[in-house]
A and B are shown apart, each in its own frame.
Chain A
C-alpha cells in the first residue's frame, strides 16, 4: 500500500480538533441525572472518529486513549453505568489529554506520555470499578482487551479487529480520509467481516449483507450509524434500562440532519489563499474606481454605454468583495464555545457559583480577529469570575441570588462588532482604584469622572486584588488586554455599578481590510474619515463657534465640543481657515466627541486600507492610507488617536 498518507494528516488533525471541541461542548451541557442519549451518542461518535482516524495514521497514543474512553462512553450511552459528575470530569480531563497529544503529534513534539498513561490508568480504574458493579457487562470488557493493540491499518495482514475499525472509519461519512481507507477495506472486509463482527459495535448497516447475522447477537449494536438505513434495535439487549423505541425514533432524524448539513458542502481552504484573494479584490476595487472616474469624462453615446457598464462592474465588484469578505467570516461562537469550560473550572476552583449566558454566538467576525480575541476575552472572563462575582455567602448577604451570572454577548452594530462581558458581581471599586493609582504614582484627581477612573485599570502593573492568586491579581493583564484589542483596531469600554456588576465592551471593526469612509478635502489634499465615527456634518453658524484661549470650540446641543481644524493638524496649506466658511464633521470615538473642520465633503466610498508602516512608519493621527480613483494616495484619519490628543489639549487648557 503505497499511498502517501501524510497528505491527509492535516485533515485528520483539523477534524480531530473539531471532534474534540464537539465532545467538550457536549460534555459541558450534559445533564448527569438524565443524560440525553443522542448527546452521548454524539460524544461517542466523535471519540470513535478520532479513534478510527488515529488508527489509520498510526497515532497509536490517541488510539489507545480514545479506545478506552469510548468503551466507557459506550457503557454510559447504553446506560449500563450511571453518569455522575466525576465521570464527566474524567471525560473532560481525557479530552484535555487528547488535545495535548493531538497537538504534540501535529507539531511533532514529544508526546505527553505521562499524562496519557495516567489518563488511561484513571479511565481503566473507573471502568473496572464500574464493571464490578452488578450492571457490568463482560462482553465489552473482552472487547476492550482484544482491541487494545493499535489498529494497524498498514499491517500486511490485517488483524480481524483492525479491519472492523477501518471499516467503521470508511463508513463514517464525516471523515474525509474515510475515502482513503475505503478501497482497501472493501476487499478486506469481505474476508474478515465474519470474525470482525464479534466486535462490531456499531451495526453500521453499510455492510449489511455480511454483518446482519451477527449484529443481532451483538449486545452493543444499538448504535446504528445507519449510512443508508436505520438498523432495527436488537430486541435481546441484556440491559434492562435501555429504551429502544424512544432512541430508535429519535436517531434517524438526528443523524440524517447532521450528515445532510455537513454534506451540503464545505471545503477547507488555506487562509493564505483567501488572504491573497482579499488583496486582489482590494486592487480590483481601486481599478474599478479609477474606471468610473475616467468614465465620467467621456461624453456621447459611447460614454453612456461605458457608464452603464461601469455601474454593472461596480455592482459586481461590491458583490465579489462582500462574498470574499464573508469567506473570512466565522461565528464568534468559535471563540465563545471555550468559555463554558473556563467558567466551570474556574468557578469550581474558586468555590463560586457562576452561570454563563452566551448571546449572539452566531454573529460573524473576521477570522483573524477571532484568533486574536481569545486571550483578551479569556482574561476578561476570568477577571469577572475572580474579581467580579462574589462568594455565595457575600452574595446572599447582599441580597443577591447565590449564583452569579456572567453574560458573554456579541452583536453587530453597523460595520462594527460589539462583544461584551457583563457580570452581576461587585462592580469596580472607585476608592480602591484611586488608592492604587496614587500608590502607583499615576496622576489622578478626586473629581475624575468614573469613566476615566475605570480606564486606570488598563495601566501596566495595576491590580487591586487583595491577594495574588494563580487566577489573577498579578497586575499583568489589563494593559495587555487593551493592547491586544487596540492592535486589532478595537477599543474597550467599561461600565460599572458598585454592588451591581460591571460590563466590559469591546468594539471591533468587522474587517481590517476595507473601511466605509467619507472623503473630505482640505486644501489640495483628500482625507478619509471612517463612516463609523461620523455623527453628522454641517456648516456652522457664527454663533456656534466660540473662542477659548487661541482655540475655537463648537457650541451644539447645549454642549461645548472641541474643534480640530484638520488643515492645522495635517499641515495643509491653502485650506479654508474660517470655520464658518468650512464644513464641520462631528466625530465620535468611544465616549469622546469632537468636531473636525474640513473644506468640503467629497462623498462616501469604500476604501482599501493600506499600511503606511510597511515602507514608512506610523504617522500620528493617521490610521493608514488608501489609493483613490486617480491613483493618488489619501490618508485615513485615526479618529481614536485624534480624540485622545484633543482630550489632552482641552485638559491642558483647563488646567493652565
Chain B
C-alpha cells in the first residue's frame, strides 16, 4: 500500500476509497486514508495485565505500536495465526495501531448513495462503531468507523483511566 494511492483524490466528489478485509466469514471495510501499511502477522511482545485482544507491542521501524486482534475483541471467526494472517497498520490521531485480520481483499470506491445506514443487530461490531453497509459484487460489506473504534474506551488503547492497578 503506497502513500500515493492514499493521497489521490477520488474521481467523483462524494466518492471515497475503502479497504475491505475479512474477519471470519464477514466482510468489512475501513477508510483507506487511515491505513499506513499492510504486513504479515508476527508474534508481538506481550504486555502484562492487558486484555486478551491486545496481542502486545511490535517494533515498526523504531516505533513501538500495539497490536489489536479484532477477532478476539468482537468474537468473530477463530483467532488463528498463520502465514496468511494480516496486520493492517493504521494511523489514527497521531497514533499507530496494528489490527489483526484474517485477510485483506480489495480497495473499493463507494459514493455516499451506495452506503446504507448500519443495521441495529446481526453484526459482531457494536453499531456505534459502524459507518454503514454497502454491497460490493453481491457481497455485503460492513463499513467500520475505525477512528471511533480505535479511540474508544472499549479497546482501551488510549490512556483514559489512570487508576490501573498493579497485579502483584
Residues of chain A whose beta carbon lies under 8 Å from any beta carbon of chain B: 282-283, 286, 525, 564, 568-572, 610-622, 625, 627, 631-635, 641, 645-646, 649
Contact = CB atoms under 8 A, between A and B. Distances in A.
A616 B48 contact: no
A307 B66 CA distance: 35
Given A569-B48, A570-B48, A633-B45, A616 B57 contact: yes
Contact of B168 (A572, A615, A625, A646): A646
Contact of B166 (A611, A627, A634, A641): A641
B58 A613 contact: no
A525 B159 contact: no
The 7 closest A-B pairs by CB, nearest first: A617-B159, A633-B45, A645-B166, A616-B66, A570-B48, A571-B48, A620-B166
Given A616-B65, A627-B59, A635 B167 contact: no
29 contacts: A568-B168, A569-B166, A569-B168, A610-B62, A610-B64, A612-B64, A614-B63, A614-B64, A615-B64, A615-B96, A616-B64, A617-B156, A617-B159, A618-B164, A619-B47, A619-B48, A620-B48, A621-B48, A621-B166, A622-B47, A625-B45, A627-B62, A631-B59, A632-B45, A632-B59, A633-B56, A633-B59, A635-B45, A635-B47
B158 A572 contact: no
Q: Among A286, A617, A619, which residue has the most Cβ atoms of chain B within 10 A?
A: A617
Interface in B67-103: 95-97
Contact of A620 (B44, B49, B95, B157): B49
B148 interface: no
B168 to A, nearest CB: 5
B89 to A, nearest CB: 10
A220 B47 CA distance: 74
Contacts of A613: 159
A267 B26 CA distance: 62
B165 interface: yes
B48 A617 contact: no
Dominant SS at the B interface? loop
Contacts of A572: 46, 48
A282 to B, nearest CB: 8
Given A571-B46, A615-B95, A645 B59 contact: no
Nearest to B162: A618
A571 B168 contact: no
Contacts of B95: 614-615
Q: Among B44, B59, B96, B159, which residue has the most Cβ atoms of chain A within 10 A?
A: B59
Given A616-B66, A620-B164, 20 more contacts: A286-B62, A570-B46, A571-B46, A610-B63, A610-B64, A612-B57, A612-B64, A613-B159, A614-B64, A615-B95, A615-B97, A616-B65, A618-B159, A618-B162, A621-B166, A625-B64, A633-B58, A633-B59, A635-B45, A641-B166
Q: Among B48, B50, B97, B157, which residue has the most Cβ atoms of chain A within 10 A?
A: B48
A283 B62 CA distance: 7
Interface string B131-168: 00000000000000000000000001111001011111
Nearest to B161: A617
Contacts of A621: 48, 166
A631 B63 CA distance: 11
A41 B40 CA distance: 71
A68 to B, nearest CB: 52
Contacts of B165: 620
Interface string B9-45: 0000000000000000000000000000000000011
A80 B158 CA distance: 69
Q: Among B44, B46, B97, B162, which residue has the most Cβ atoms of chain A within 10 A?
A: B46
A572 B167 CA distance: 13
A577 B97 CA distance: 34
